[in-house]
Structure 1
Amino acid sequence: MEYIYHFTNIIRKTTQNLFNKATGVFQRNDPNSQLDYTELIEDDDVTQRQRIKTIPATSSKYDSYIPSRFRFIDSIKNMPIRYQTAFLSSLGFLISFGIRCNMGVSVVAMTHNETEKLPNGTIKLIKLAQFDWTPGIIGIVDSSFFWGYLITQVPGGYLAAKFPANHVFGFALGISSILNLFIPFAAKIHYGVVMILRILQGLVEGVTYPAAHGIWRWWAPPLERSTLATISFTGSYAGAVLGIPLSGILTEYFNWQIAFYFYGLVGIIWSIYWWYFSYERPAIHPKITEAERVYIEESIGESSSIANKKIKNIPHDELYLMEDT
């Protein structure tokens, strides 16, 4: 178990470093207060010294947005809502990619005999494989997820534009997590049933990336868009890195079903909290500060009174007349 401890310790430190770096963001002055920030600079005589700057609270221009690279928040509670959304969506992607890794790892324990080599060189059968799936069947079952995933990439963008993108994102992860709970039961029926569930998982998870982009349409100021999107999408890579060894550990110390149950339950819990916490736009979020809301809306060029207007009727006749003239 020592290697597990070291592995989790590395993940914890990496996450903390990412968390600390991500909090050095561009922020707008609170109209009701002054903004102090600390900057570390190098000097000829002193290696490092601390300098405090105070920006007048009356300033409302974009030049009052200052980079506070060394401002670190005290707790998650004080983190700006847009960054809480980024880290929470990153956790969602981590769970999503963990779900994808379940089958690839668990199928080893599902379809292979457990044996032991004796001192005399003979092989002793300890446990017979639960499923007699051929390599071809295993490949089809494992890849069936991506059949559905490929189909809903483009429709996912349409859904994220038509409906609140945060709801689309949470709904997709929630449904995929529920389906994950049924895979162990489906495997006992027939591998074809597992394929159906995996295709359905791919269909619903195919909308996650388009939905995530739709979320940042309302929440990401231009100067922070790349940072917020990077934090969010980093969860997908972390999910693959963590999902494979974690599924293997759960399978080794418990059984192959536990990996499906674990990610299914964690995904459902995440979806419930996401549904409670996330909102489509800053203007309707009940916990956002006035300063953050104004900063996001003005930097994007939107205000709380402007709805997401769509062109319902395109004046084709007028356009043709303009082209003729």
Structure 2
Amino acid sequence: MSSEGDAKTTVQNIPTDDNLIMTQEQSAKKGFCSVRYGLAFILNICNFSMYTQQLNLSIAITAMVNQTALQGQPNASMDTQDDWTATQDEVQAIAPTYDWNPEIQGIILSSLSYGSFAAPIPVGYVAGVLGAKYVVGTGLFITSVLSLFIPLSADAGVAALIALRVIQGIAQDMVLTGQNSLWVRWAPPLERSQLINTAVSGAMLGSFIVLLVGGLICQTIGWPYIFYIFGGIGCVCCLLWFPLAYNDPEHHPFISADEKRYIVCSLAQQDNSPGWSLPIKSMIKSLPLWAILVSYFCQYWTINTILSYTPTYISSVLQINVRDSGMLSSLPFIATGISMLLAAFLADFLFSRRILRLVTIRKLVTCTGILCSCAFLVALHWVRFSRSATIIFLILCIFFAGIPQAGSIVNIIDIAPRYTSFIKGLTQLCASIAGAIAPTVAGILINQDSELGWRNIFLIASAINIVGLIFYLIFGQAHEQTWAKK
């Protein structure tokens, strides 16, 4: 017992400069062929599958309703209206449609977040203490199976569909919240942004794919198959996750001794040992923690609005059919995946070269992404008469929205590595509250005024996002907090 303690003390007493040199040498030696990057790739696939299931209803709902197109749009030509009517007739011939007004659609799209109010915190707590392998795998399996039953629940009625989506949202929270506890034990500080964003970028890839092919699936073989196909892919991903994912490098059967030593030494100065006790009072008083939570809520208000309503906006405002609407809606999300990876590599480069302090990097990245994203979001209303300008602005808006993933979004591991999974549950709760409110508010605004409603949606989302940015810039920090230490 004493020898183990002495060994731990020896590791912790390694000078910071020596740790930095060793980290850089080992990182260059292993690189992307390492087990830790393999884990990031597996999580990338899991996030890909989960987000295809999260967004499949957003694209399918344009085919599930009797009439989504808004009447009286100034840019709608006679030929476009004829094409749209023909497309609607084709879709109705393939699969059933439902009489859902915009307000009901907003409630259905928001229902994925209704069950998430209570789930993230206990899920994050359990994943942090017991490990994330089975939490993430179980959540992915449940949401994938439920996706197969969405067409049946839609036939049963709105209430049944909402109930199924609520349960599916809880399962998806298990995936989103649980995976963060893995990086506390797997991600060296100098590679933290790269590894996390490599995993998270799968969400944007999934968004891109489901929007790219979702409209085509709905128009050719019927909207139910968008749920069957992507639900089946999720079930296959579970077969990949359970045998290859492990909670920490010490128990991984295929990791090399050098990589295991590198990860352990790089995290020696960080207290990431889990515990059942939580410093609740200190967390409540912590302004840096509140800065992250407020930033999460504000950013995900905008993100959930864009994710839920991009296909509807393109199909209704630009008067584009279901197939083309899905393809055009997919373009912004591949841009987001690229921006997330670029921002992650830039953040780690600046930190590893000691060009800027870590807190400066987090705030600079967050500020750049939010301000640029809001600028293009607000401008959407005034370029709606031009299809090409609207698509370009949407792409740029969502491109910049991905940049804060290397800023405030990843900041929780900086301030409290020991409680990362639990705090991730708190942030996921904030994101879920935003996800429940934002699409519902958007649906009400569109139902009241089909033209000015969109303008108000963009203005409200931008204002909320900037308020969150100001709060984060004032109170955000990037060093381990006193209450987070053992």
What TM-score range do you get, normalising by the shorter chain?
Answer: 0.5 to 0.7
For 1:63, give the aligned amino acid: I
Distance 1:255 1:309, change over 3 A: closer
Partner of 1:133: 99
Distance 1:108 1:205, change over 3 A: same
Partners of 2:127 and 2:181 within 8 A in 1? yes
Partner of 2:155: 188
CA distance in 1, matches of 2:202, 2:170: 20
Partner of 2:213: 246
For 2:168, give the aligned amino acid: Q
TM-score by length of 2: 0.45
| Structure 2 residue 234 is the aligned partner of structure 1 residue 267 | yes
For 1:261, give the aligned amino acid: Y
Partner of 1:66: 24
Partner of 1:298: 265
Show CA shifts across 1:94-133 (max 9, x none): 211111111111122222379xx99xx8x77564672332
Instruction: Flag structure 1 segments of 5+ consecutive residues without an equivalent.
Output: 1-59, 315-325
SS in 1 for 2:148: helix
Calculate percent identity across the aligned residue pairs. 26
CA distance in 2, matches of 1:311, 1:159: 9
Show CA shifts across 1:16-59 (max 9, x none): xxxxxxxxxxxxxxxxxxxxxxxxxxxxxxxxxxxxxxxxxxxx
Distance 1:312 1:95, change over 3 A: closer
CA distance in 2, matches of 1:284, 1:254: 46
Instruction: Flag structure 2 segments of 5+ consecutive residues without an equivalent.
Output: 1-17, 69-77, 280-486
CA shift, 1:69, in A, is: 9.1
SS in 2 for 1:238: helix
Partners of 2:55 and 2:207 within 8 A in 1? yes
| Structure 2 residue 56 is the aligned partner of structure 1 residue 102 | yes
What is the root-mean-square deviation in Å for CA atoms of aligned residues?
Answer: 3.4
For 1:292, give the aligned amino acid: E
Using CA pairs below 8 Å that are at least 6 residues apart, which structure has the higher relative contact order? 2
CA shift, 1:162, in A, is: 2.8
Match of 2:142 among 158, 162, 175: 175
Moved more, 269-278 or 90-99: 90-99
CA shift, 1:215, in A, is: 0.7
Which aligned segments of 4 or more residues in structure 1 are displaced greater than 4 angstroms?
Answer: 67-73, 123-129, 306-309, 311-314
Partners of 1:101 and 1:247 within 8 A in 2? no
Partner of 1:200: 167
For 1:169, give the aligned amino acid: V
SS in 2 for 1:206: helix
Partners of 2:19 and 2:266 within 8 A in 1? no
Partners of 2:44 and 2:202 within 8 A in 1? yes
CA shift, 1:178, in A, is: 0.7
Partner of 1:286: 253
Partner of 1:221: 188
Partner of 2:179: 212
SS in 1 for 2:246: coil
Partner of 1:233: 200
CA shift, 1:261, in A, is: 0.8
CA distance in 2, matches of 1:65, 1:178: 42
CA shift, 1:185, in A, is: 1.4
Greater strand share, structure number: 1
For 2:100, give the aligned amino acid: T
Moved more, 159-168 or 86-95: 159-168
CA distance in 1, matches of 2:54, 2:216: 16
Partner of 1:90: 44
SS in 2 for 1:255: coil
CA distance in 1, matches of 2:156, 2:19: 65
| Structure 2 residue 268 is the aligned partner of structure 1 residue 310 | no
Show CA shifts across 1:206-261 (max 9, x none): 23332121010111112111111111111222222332222112222221111101
CA distance in 2, matches of 1:133, 1:285: 52
Partners of 2:30 and 2:259 within 8 A in 1? no
For 1:310, give the aligned amino acid: G
Distance 1:250 1:70, change over 3 A: farther
Distance 1:132 1:308, change over 3 A: same
Distance 1:139 1:312, change over 3 A: closer
Write out aligned runs for 1:27-176 (5 A): 63-66=21-24, 79-112=33-66, 127=92, 130-135=96-101, 136-176=103-143
Partners of 1:151 and 1:206 within 8 A in 2? no
Partners of 2:19 and 2:265 within 8 A in 1? no
Partner of 1:34: none
Greater helix share, structure number: 2
CA shift, 1:134, in A, is: 2.0
Aligned length: 245
Partner of 1:319: none
Moved more, 263-272 or 244-253: 244-253
Moved more, 240-249 or 127-136: 127-136
